[in-house]
Amino acid sequence: MIRSWRIGFVALILVALSGCQALQKVDQGLYQVAESVSERDRITGRRSLSMANRSAQIEQGNAYVEKIIAQEQKNKRPINAAISRTQYQRLVRVFDRIHQVSHLKQERWQPLLIKRNSFNAFTTGGTYIVVHSQLMTDLKDDAELAAVLGHEIAHTVANHVYERQTHAQVSALVGSNSAGRSGYQAAFTHESEREADRIGILYTALAGYDPLAASRIWQRKYTQEGNARALFHHDHPVNAERYQEAKAVGTKVLPYYKKNQINPRAAALLDNNVLWQKNNNEVAAGEGGGVTALLSTALGAYVQHQQAKGEELRQLQQANFVKSVESVLKVESTRKAGSHLLDTRWRYAANGPTLTNVVMGLYLKRNGKIERYVSHVNGYIKPGQVFTAKFSLPNSLNVDDLKKYSAKLYLDDVQAAR
């Protein structure tokens, strides 16, 4: 309905502009306004909010990373090949292939390896990609690394950093109640992460790496860490959902994958593929371009706003469901089944729905760091049923030490069986 109204309205404007010089100047002015608060999305061709042009994005984004480099040097921490020549060469090699098939291949980018014991990589909207050393050792192969690098480049390609900033500024100006909520902000970022995953997986396939590698990362993370869904609003898809969506997207783009070689049709496939078709048509300024640009920007912002609100509500409903189930789970017993194996028995003491995908968690704080361990419960849990959750602990943590660290059991995640 909105689309048909918009097309009719724009058609009337174009007719009026064709014969009126004054209106043409107005339209040119409107186009300049649209240009100052938006840019054409490199993926879809539609308008999206952004108050910084690409030059400003590079300047601001690179300045942030260059401060990190200066801080590393000041603290005498190694970077790049000084951390590991082998890992840095691997990073550069995989990055180069992914960058060649990206929407920003004309820009000169460089990866930065810093020494951190965390599974993380990020971009700041410029031409750097920062990778933590622990991520390099945790990933199993080059295809998994390609998936991560593709995801990070995609954030800049889709202008997520400045899009989020501009959206927040505009929301504040119009007095949006939603934008001030932490849950809404997390949900807005969550949708950007989903988009970056899709773009990154396409890049992975086009660069000659297995596009199903991303799904393997998140399947492994889910097995090891669960979802931690009930603990907070999340700005990234939880591991189980990320695995499922990555597998679906990877399967769709699998026909573009040519092992160990860049797809010769990579450039064309960036605009037209099974995930999206880019709209390269834009009306010129003075010929209705100003009106259409403003309408496109407003409509795009509205759609993003509604998507974020919908995701915020979905997360809240799921968190409430997890908490309601947790309130009726009763610990029947806890037993030391081995030096590093804790056996727990639970009763689902309620007349609620049958449960599935139950993940129990164990939380503790040791040496100033939070540690979480999970146990996946197979099958379905019916009301009144007793079930077992077993926790395997690392060699550095004995079951007898759990009391010393005030360990707590909790429900990590659960779904109602359909």
DSSP string, 71-103: HHHHTT--BGGGT-HHHHHHHHHHHHHHHHTST
Q: Is residue 134 part of a domain?
A: yes
pTM: 0.90
* Rounded Cα distance, 383 and 272, in Å: 50
User: Is-contact 34 103, C-beta < 8 A?
Assistant: no
Give the structural domain span for 389. Answer: 328-416
- CB under 8 A, 24+ apart: contacts of 136-145: 136/84, 136/87, 136/90, 136/91, 137/87, 139/217, 140/216, 141/213, 142/90, 142/93, 142/94, 142/209, 143/204, 143/209, 143/210, 143/213, 144/213, 144/214, 144/216, 144/217, 145/90, 145/91, 145/94
Helical (H) or strand (E) element with 344: strand 341-348
Cβ atoms of 398 and 339 within 8 Å: the answer is: yes
pLDDT-derived band at 172, boundaries 50, 70, 90: low
Specify whether 75 is located in the same domain as 104.
Answer: yes
Question: Do 108 and 204 fall into the same domain?
Answer: yes
**Does residue 139 lie within any of the structural domains?**
yes
**Same structural domain, 191 and 275:** yes
Is 344 a member of any domain? yes
Q: Which of 270, 287, 318 is the last residue of a domain?
A: 318
pLDDT for 280 equals 82
Answer yes or no: do 338 and 282 share one domain. no
DSSP 3-state helix, strand, coil percentages of the chain (rounded to 5)? 50, 20, 30
pLDDT digits (tens, 9 = 90+) for 280-331: 887 777 777 777 878 888 888 888 889 999 999 999 999 999 999 999 999 9
Is 5 part of any domain?
A: no
Which residues, in sequence order, are CB contacts of 230 under 8 Å at separation 6+?
A: 319, 322, 323, 326, 410, 411, 412, 413
Where residue 375 sits, what CATH number does that domain have?
2.60.40
Q: Give ∠ CA 99-102-104 in degrees, rounded to 5.
A: 90
pLDDT for 53 beyond 60: yes
Q: Name the domain count of the chain.
A: 2
**Residue 90 and residue 210 share a domain:** yes
Same-domain check for residues 56 and 172: yes
pLDDT of residue 15: 46
Per-residue pLDDT of 338-389, as tens digits, reads: 999 999 999 999 889 999 999 999 999 999 999 999 999 999 999 999 999 9
- Is residue 7, in this structure, part of any structural domain at all? no
Evaluate whether residue 24 is within a structural domain. no
3-class DSSP assignment, residue 382: coil
Claim to verify: residue 180 and residue 131 sit in the same structural domain = yes
Is residue 277 domain-shared with residue 356, that is, in the same domain? no
What tokens appear for 161 in the block? Answer: 């950093």
Residues pairing with 331 in the sheet: 346
CB 207 within 8 A of CB 97: yes
Same-domain check for residues 260 and 381: no
| Same domain as 172, residue 88 | yes
Q: Distance (Å, rounded) from C-alpha 124 to C-alpha 331?
A: 46
Quickly state the pLDDT bin for 19 (edges 50, 70, 90): low
Nearest to 416 by CA among 360, 361, 352: 352
pLDDT interval class at 76 (50, 70, 90): very high
Domain contains 99: yes
Single residue among 291, 318, 345 that ends a domain in this structure? 318
Q: How far, in Å, CA of 62 to CA of 52, rounded? A: 14
Residue 56's closest CA among 48, 44, 64?
64
Distance between start and end Cα atoms, the chain: 33
Cβ neighbour number for residue 236 with a 10 Å cutoff: 15
Q: Using pLDDT thresholds of 50, 70 and 90, give the confidence band for residue 174.
A: low
- What percent of the chain stands above pLDDT 70? 91
CA distance 190 to 199: 15
Q: Do 228 and 347 lie in a common domain?
A: no
What pLDDT is stored for residue 167 in this prediction? 72
252 inside domain: yes
Q: Do residues 276 and 245 both lie within one domain?
A: yes
Residue after which a domain boundary falls, among 278, 299, 318: 318
Residues in the chain: 418
